[in-house]
Structure 1
């Protein structure tokens, strides 16, 4: 590859229809730090050394209006998926917190390698997974 190496995932996006609901879910329930919001278009959150981008799909399909930020149009239809890393001990606390908020846990199970995953839906219907890192990286995660 001649030195062309990726250092990790910098950002991931989900598409939402209600920025207030997205902010309450990702910022409130999950406790992610909001770093930027543009009403009607997006709200961004820091998660460790990565960023979760919550976009209103229709707004991101429009071509950019600022020549200094020539980001290509994008957007997606339908629910997507995002997974956050959490230790096994933290997953116990997360399950309690999610249930205390009256949210439905879609699934809570152990993978063949012993890693645990908890699935729920955000207000836009995106699949949100909280999983032990050993799901992909081995070890005790």
Structure 2
């Protein structure tokens, strides 16, 4: 029998794949206000909160393994739209409801969850489905 797994400290990175890196930077950097920490030909990395990083990869250039001085980064890719959610405070929900349309971003759906949380769904320029999620949503995200 296998023993109990070691602890996981959270999700460090999440990724989306885009065709137009500059349009993605305008959206993630200017519209959503994320600070870009890394800029490269195949990857932008953004500060998405304390200890959290959003990786924006150029679609089609990450499927092959990449050799680095520290070791090999396995290839990865995504076809079609992906999804991830930003955590927001319940107190900021109305501000995001107002800000996104002002910034030219259509809110495509709003969901009120059984636990009482609310999610605002919208797309980035490449059609990835993003979410601003206010607690309570999951048992481990209650605010």
TM over 0.5: yes
Give the paired residue count.
Answer: 140
2:113 paired residue among 111, 114, 138: 111
Matched, 1:47 2:48: yes
TM-score, with length taken from structure 1: 0.90
Query: Equivalent residue of 2:111, what SS?
Result: strand
2:7 maps to 5
Deviates more, 1:77-86 or 1:104-113: 104-113
- Secondary structure at 1:70's aligned position in 2? strand
The correspondence for 1:20, drawn from 15, 18, 22, is 22
- Give 1:30 deviation, angstroms: 1.1
* Contact preservation (8 Å) 1:57, 1:74: no
Give unmatched runs, 5+ long, in structure 1: none
Alignment of 1:91-130 (within 5 A): 91-130=93-132
Kept after mapping to 2: 8 A contact 1:83/1:129:
yes
Which structure dedicates a bigger proportion of its chain to strand?
A: 2
Stretches of structure 2 lacking an aligned partner (at least 5 in a row):
none
Say yes or no: does 1:29 pair with 2:31. Answer: yes
Query: 1:69: Cα distance to partner?
Result: 4.1
When residues 139 and 121 of structure 1 are mapped into structure 2, their CA distance, relative to the original with a 3 A threshold, is closer
Partner of 2:79: 77
Consecutive aligned runs of 4 or more in structure 1 exceeding 6 Å deviation: none
Q: Which structure shows the bigger proportion of residues in helix conformation? A: 1
Cα 1:77–1:51 change in 2 (3 A) is same
Q: CA deviation at 1:139?
A: 7.5
